[in-house]
Structure 1
Amino acid sequence: METTKIQPGGGLNVTLTIRLLMHGKEVGSIIGKKGETVKKMREESGARINISEGNCPERIVTITGPTDTIFKAFAMIAYKFEEDIINSMSNSPATSKPPVTLRLVVPASQCGSLIGKGGSKIKEMRESTGAQVQVAGDMLPNSTERAVTISGTPEAIIQCVKQVCVVMLESPPKGATIPYRPKPASTPVIFSGGQAYTIQGQYAIPHPDQLTKLHQLAMQQTPFTPLGQTTPAFPGLDTSSPASTHELTIPNDLIGCIIGRQGTKINEIRQMSGAQIKIANAMEGSSERQITITGTPANISLAQYLINARLTSEVTGMGTL
């Protein structure tokens, strides 16, 4: 990671590096078709914009350059995210527009200056820019950096980023900074239908990235018949889809491998899929238990896939995942 180079003569127009943490979907929006959007952002802002490699649910976007170019790049990113929000709203009945949110990655040693004594600095930033600013309490895994979340209108975000830059220039990081690197998808751990999957943080990531196939795969791999309506295949992981419900029945003697000791496995599946999962109590005289999964089609198919993976590993003796 580059260090801040303060040019002779001071002033705000110094070279600075700001790191942003983005989800894969956000990164896709910034890159654009065939990389056109990021190319345009680089050309129009004059900032260097690098996107971390790797098949990860999170990526780091590094913006480097004189501060005026950084602000231009930030403005373009904020307006692009707002455009994405407006586009996603045109398909939904929601009337209130959610704010644009950016996550900065800041060395923990600079976070104290951002917060200020008794929270005075962060309060001043919120009041003067109208943006919401939150500094994460914990450091990001395997690093000495924290996430700073800024949300609001693009204009408020740009003003807020300017103030954050001033603080970062006035209070350089102390000691060595271990930068946060999102974990790349590790070696495949599940093979299903000729497709490899990896468990990554809180997500099950198809490897390579074939999220659209995940749903059909989950349906093909079902070793039991789902009740009720099956959700249609969905385009990508669209979390804005309305919530729906899906029901499965599981043989009693296999329910234990899904619940896990003290509910550990079912909790993992809930966390990874983002779906709500309810397991009905055993019915007298019935050899099956009903599982109800609620969430977006994407959440449901991930939950189904993970339940199926647990069953498959139990039945084929692949051991625990």
Structure 2
Amino acid sequence: MEPNKVQSEGGLNVTLTIRLLMHGKEVGSIIGKKGETVKKMREESGARINISEGNCPERIVTITGPTDAIFKAFAMIAYKFEEDIVNAMSNSPATSKPPVTLRLVVPASQCGSLIGKGGSKIKEMRESTGAQVQVAGDMLPNSTERAVTISGTPEAIIQCVKQICVVMLESPPKGATIPYRPKPASTPVIFSGGQVRADPLAASTANLSLLLQHQPLPAYTIQGQYAIPHPDLTKLHQLAMQQTPFTPLGQTSPAFPGLDANPPASTHELSIPNDLIGCIIGRQGTKINEIRQMSGAQIKIANAMEGSAERQITITGTPANISLAQYLINARFRDVAAMWNDPSSMTTS
């Protein structure tokens, strides 16, 4: 976020640049048919809205303008996403509406101010706006930025963004910021019958298969002061292929499976190979804590049993909590698989 103070008739005004990280489907929603939706957003808000180019699974949406224009643009995006959720639920038996979720990209040097001493600032924002706010523990790949996830009603999100902007203006970034740039999707994968799909996940796992066959890796990679053991890539590949997000639990393909008015708590168990459990736990438990916070599920990892090659993970919560936790665990395996596929993107997390 880059503040630039300018003088206006109403006194001191502020021009901001805010970056959002969006998946392809979300980007498609705000672009609209022939670009009509984003054109309307630009005209009505007065903000400049630019969308990064490239065949990427993720895109950066940059919103620039005076504060009022920024907030109008955010409101239009939040209400558009809520409209998408309502439309998706029209053919679903789910009765509980999921929250709207936006991901801001913020320089890591500003995240401390956003969290506050002992988490006081982020707690205050959650309580005063009613929005859920999560600051990622790790920086985005090859950058000095972190993702800040905001979930809630459009009204709560708008109020939360206003408060975040105030904090960002009061605490400018320290030092140079290396912006996050999403990686392009890999080369299209050719399936049987000659069908071609530029599916980044399929391409990633296909490339990983080639890596398994042709590029044996050393047992350890030295990163700074750390010696990082290489996981068993065959197992990692198999786990990365378990990619069905939000597995329907007792429902027939709803848009938001596992959501109902009063879902009962239940338990689900997973078995993870011992040499991959570190991928899920992360350094000092950062990854597993992140998954617990984002999913709302209780997640317990059993101690290693003598003679057993696997560890048991027990997930407890509503069906929606469990589905989200499973999705985040599988996503973590896919991220790590991609990391070993492209060593240049490795961090010590």
Instruction: Assess same fold via TM > 0.5.
Output: yes
- How far 1:122 sits from its partner (Å)? 0.5
- How far 1:187 sits from its partner (Å)? 3.5
Native 8 Å contact 1:212 1:234 kept in 2 = no
CA change 1:281–1:83 in 2 (3 A) is same
Instruction: Name the larger-Rg structure.
Output: 1
> What is the distance in 1 between the residues matched to 2:304 and 2:284?
17
- How far 1:185 sits from its partner (Å)? 1.6
- Which structure has more relative contact order (CA 8 Å, sep 6+)? It is 2
CA change 1:255–1:22 in 2 (3 A) is closer
Q: Secondary structure at the match of 1:186?
A: coil
- Listed one character per residue, the Cα deviations across residues 34-66 of structure 1 (whole Å, up to 9, x for unaligned) are 100000000000000000111111111000000
Quick check: 226-235 or 174-183, which moved more?
A: 226-235
- Listed one character per residue, the Cα deviations across residues 101-125 of structure 1 (whole Å, up to 9, x for unaligned) are 0000000011111101111110110
CA change 1:207–1:88 in 2 (3 A) is farther
Native 8 Å contact 1:104 1:149 kept in 2 = yes
Quick check: 257-266 or 155-164, which moved more?
A: 257-266
TM-score for both structures, normalised by structure 2:
0.56
Residue 205 of structure 2 is matched in structure 1 by none
- Listed one character per residue, the Cα deviations across residues 227-249 of structure 1 (whole Å, up to 9, x for unaligned) are 99999999999999999999999
- How far 1:315 sits from its partner (Å)? 27
> What is the distance in 2 between the residues matched to 1:243 and 1:214?
30
> What is the distance in 2 between the residues matched to 1:21 and 1:273?
19
- How far 1:140 sits from its partner (Å)? 0.5
CA change 1:273–1:25 in 2 (3 A) is farther
Quick check: 301-310 or 31-40, which moved more?
A: 301-310
Quick check: 72-81 or 182-191, which moved more?
A: 182-191
Where structure 2 has 5 or more consecutive residues not aligned to the other structure, the ranges are 196-219, 334-340
Residue 181 of structure 1 is matched in structure 2 by 181
Native 8 Å contact 1:218 1:305 kept in 2 = no
CA change 1:224–1:30 in 2 (3 A) is closer
Aligned residues: 318
Where structure 1 has 5 or more consecutive residues not aligned to the other structure, the ranges are none
> What is the distance in 2 between the residues matched to 1:251 and 1:95?
37
CA change 1:203–1:300 in 2 (3 A) is farther
CA change 1:221–1:136 in 2 (3 A) is closer
Quick check: 29-38 or 185-194, which moved more?
A: 185-194
Q: Secondary structure at the match of 1:150?
A: strand
> What is the distance in 1 between the residues matched to 2:346 and 2:117?
54
> What is the distance in 2 between the residues matched to 1:264 and 1:233?
30
Identical aligned residues as a percent: 93
- How far 1:131 sits from its partner (Å)? 0.5
Residue 261 of structure 2 is matched in structure 1 by 239
> What is the distance in 2 between the residues matched to 1:61 and 1:296?
33
Quick check: 294-303 or 70-79, which moved more?
A: 294-303
Q: Secondary structure at the match of 1:14?
A: strand
1:56 aligns with 2:78: no
Q: Secondary structure at the match of 2:12?
A: coil
> What is the distance in 1 between the residues matched to 2:347 and 2:191?
13
Cα RMSD after superposing both structures: 9.7
Native 8 Å contact 1:16 1:66 kept in 2 = yes
TM-score for both structures, normalised by structure 1:
0.61
